[in-house]
């Protein structure tokens, strides 16, 4: 397998990309292609005498976090991100990992790599910790306005990722809402609830509130990108706030400092559970290739884990299973439409 890494995308590029790629190359039999400033990347690689199969492909431009996604995709065609995407498009790479401009990753993937057959909207799939393990939330930012069909597609793609990449036997699917009752939410939520309820191949558990989501009551939760991104950023803010509160309390007195030392192992375990670098990144589902997005502030471990996540998704033929699920969704949609026509005719 060949994985292209946008080596100029993160806040600390290319150091973390190079270090993460080296670590991943020593763990798996994977060819990693670092895309970016060739001279700089080779200089950084020279500091790691022990490494696996790593190649460098030159790109003369960089898409920054301040670039407008559409303009960047149009005008920075030799950027590390777009060069890496073209490697996937031509079959010279099987996946791409990027910690760069998320909007540019989304726009570039749809234009250059293209959508999976039958998928009308790609979605960014985030992984959140729960008391039981982890839950997938999608979309977390790719689509602000969504139709019922889009959210149902998100469910099908999330099921495929949860089952074939994360190993969940029969993923439970929930619809993020302000209450568990069927009548909660607007017309969009009610239509999605009806359609997923009518799909026998979907283990749909109904509406879920955020608390139920973090309690581990669902494996896949769907929502529009605006709500999902707000959920993501709120969760990050609460985690940061809680961390600051704990730090202040532990530093408040000598006794508290002793308590912190005694609890250090447990605190580190909690930190690891909520650390996004410990997950396999956020896949952009629905495009005709494996695309993994990681946070701009990622570290080398985050890059290595994203590379490994891309490897797992490819090995388990994720996109083939997404295509199968979308076809099944279309069959359910036709049945609902025919049922509606029959009721209207009567």
What pLDDT does 294 receive?
94
0.95 cut: is pTM over it? no
From the number of C-beta atoms within 10 Å of its C-beta (0-12, 13-18, 19+), residue 326 rates as buried
Contact 232, 141 (CB under 8 A): yes
Angle at 175 between CA 171 and CA 181, to 5 degrees: 120
- The whole-number pLDDT of residue 339 equals 74
* Helical pair 187-197 and 318-345, crossing angle rounded to 10 deg: 100
Contact call for residues 317 and 13 (beta carbons, < 8 A): no
Cα–Cα dist 276/274, whole Å: 6
| Residue 220, both tokens | 């896949």
CA gap 107, 114 in Å, rounded: 10
- Residue 127 pairs in a beta bridge with 136
**Going from the N-terminus, what domains does the chain have, and what CATH number goes with each?**
1-114+287-315 (3.40.718.10)
> What are the tokens at 253?
């007195």
> What phi-psi label fits residue 185: left (phi over 0), alpha (psi between -120 and 50 degrees) or beta?
left
Q: What is the pLDDT of residue 302?
A: 93
Largest CA distance in the chain: 78
SS3 state of residue 68: coil
What is the Cα gyration radius of the chain?
A: 21
Q: What is the spatial distance between Cα 183 and Cα 75, in angstroms, rounded to a whole number?
A: 47
User: Per residue of the chain (346 residues), what is the pLDDT tens digit?
Assistant: 899 999 999 999 999 999 999 999 998 888 999 999 999 999 999 999 899 999 999 999 999 999 999 999 999 999 999 999 999 999 999 999 999 999 999 999 999 999 998 899 999 999 999 988 899 999 998 888 899 999 999 999 999 999 998 999 999 999 999 998 888 888 999 999 999 998 888 999 999 999 999 999 999 999 999 999 999 999 889 888 988 998 898 888 998 889 888 888 888 887 777 777 777 789 999 999 999 999 899 999 999 999 999 999 999 999 999 999 999 888 888 887 877 666 666 5
Q: Give the pLDDT of residue 338.
A: 75
CA–CA distance, 173 with 342 (Å, rounded to integer):
29
Task: Tokens for 250, please give them.
Answer: 């532990």
Distance of alpha carbon 321 from alpha carbon 315, whole angstroms: 12
């Amino acid at each position: 397998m060949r994985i292209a890494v946008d080596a100029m995308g993160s806040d600390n590029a290319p150091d973390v990309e190079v270090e993460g790629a080296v670590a991943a190359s020593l763990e798996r039999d994977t060819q990693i292609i670092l895309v970016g400033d060739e001279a700089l990347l080779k200089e950084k690689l020279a500091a790691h005498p022990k490494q696996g199969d790593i190649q460098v492909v030159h790109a003369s431009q960089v898409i920054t976090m301040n670039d407008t996604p559409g303009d960047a995709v149009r005008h920075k065609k030799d950027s590390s991100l777009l060069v890496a995407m073209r490697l996937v498009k031509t079959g010279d790479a099987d996946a791409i990992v990027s910690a760069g401009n998320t909007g540019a990753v989304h726009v570039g993937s749809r234009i250059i790599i293209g959508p999976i057959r039958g998928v009308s909207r790609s979605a960014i799939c985030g992984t959140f910790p729960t008391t039981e393990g982890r839950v997938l939330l999608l979309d977390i930012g790719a689509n602000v306005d969504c139709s019922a069909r889009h959210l149902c597609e998100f469910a099908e793609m999330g099921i495929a990722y949860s089952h074939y990449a994360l190993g969940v036997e029969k993923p439970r699917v929930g619809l993020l809402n302000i209450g568990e009752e069927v009548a909660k939410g607007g017309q969009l939520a009610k239509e999605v609830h009806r359609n997923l309820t009518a799909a026998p191949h979907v283990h749909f558990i109904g509406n879920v509130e955020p608390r139920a989501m973090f309690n581990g009551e669902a494996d896949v939760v769907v929502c529009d990108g605006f709500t999902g991104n707000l959920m993501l950023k709120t969760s990050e803010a609460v985690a940061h706030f809680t961390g600051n509160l704990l730090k202040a309390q532990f530093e408040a007195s000598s006794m508290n400092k002793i308590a912190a030392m005694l609890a250090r192992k447990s605190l580190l375990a909690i930190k690891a559970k909520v650390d996004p670098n410990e997950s396999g990144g956020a896949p952009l589902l629905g495009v005709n290739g494996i695309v993994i997005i990681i946070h701009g502030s990622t570290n080398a471990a985050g890059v290595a884990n994203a590379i490994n996540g891309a490897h797992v998704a490819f090995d388990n033929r994720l996109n083939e299973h997404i295509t199968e699920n979308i076809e099944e969704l279309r069959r359910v949609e036709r049945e609902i439409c025919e049922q509606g026509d029959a009721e209207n005719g009567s």
